[in-house]
Amino acid sequence: MSRFILASQSPRRQELIGYILSEYEVIVSDAQEILPDGIAPEDVPAYLAGIKAQAVASEHPDDVVIGADTVVILDDQVLGKPKDEDDAFHMLRALSGKAHTVITGCAIIQNGRMTTFADHTRVEFYPLSDREILDYIATGEPFDKAGAYGIQGKGSVLVKRIEGDFFNVMGLPVARLKREMERAGALPQETQGDTI
């Protein structure tokens, strides 16, 4: 019997995958996240999700492996996780008063076949004062999150509006992932009228 493996150390992804799967294991990928030259910013998350999933699937070929990666894109620039407080400040200052796109790429590997997709969510920030930014950074919340904010936590007060999947911004587009897993044969397909 195949196991489900989440190839992510993110506590948010571990929480969210539980909305789809009652049983799963976490095995963190040790893959090198090296991007090919010329890759488009919007293709980065699905590419990195694939690398993470492939690294784990190579050691667990009989299991279903799910990888994910999230980036924030502002003005065609990819914002990953901040390196330090200065980096977090500059990211949040750049996001202040503007709209950006959060893209989470997912990869599903089953029986040696990989399916990838990416989900996009538009997020707009309120204009932020330097004091607001510094106070938020002092919470410690920005440091393990793409774009230096957590929409599900204290960072929620920075957000003016969102268009798209809230869970995508947290790091896993749960509803779309469930459907893609069904399409890939990793989960039984629900028929219309069935309940979850």
Residues annotated as part of the active site: 69
Q: Which residues neighbour 17 within 8 Å (Cβ) at sequence distance 6 or greater? A: 4, 6, 24, 66, 172, 174
d(CA 7, CA 109): 11
Count of residues making up the chain: 196
Q: Residue 35 gets which letter from DSSP?
A: P
Q: State the sign of the Cα–Cα–Cα–Cα dihedral 11, 5, 119, 40.
A: positive
DSSP codes, 154-171: GGGGGEEEEES-HHHHHT
Return the axis-axis angle of helices 85-95 and 130-138, rounded to nearest 10°. 140
Q: Measure the CA–CA gap between 35 and 96, rounded to whole angstroms.
A: 28
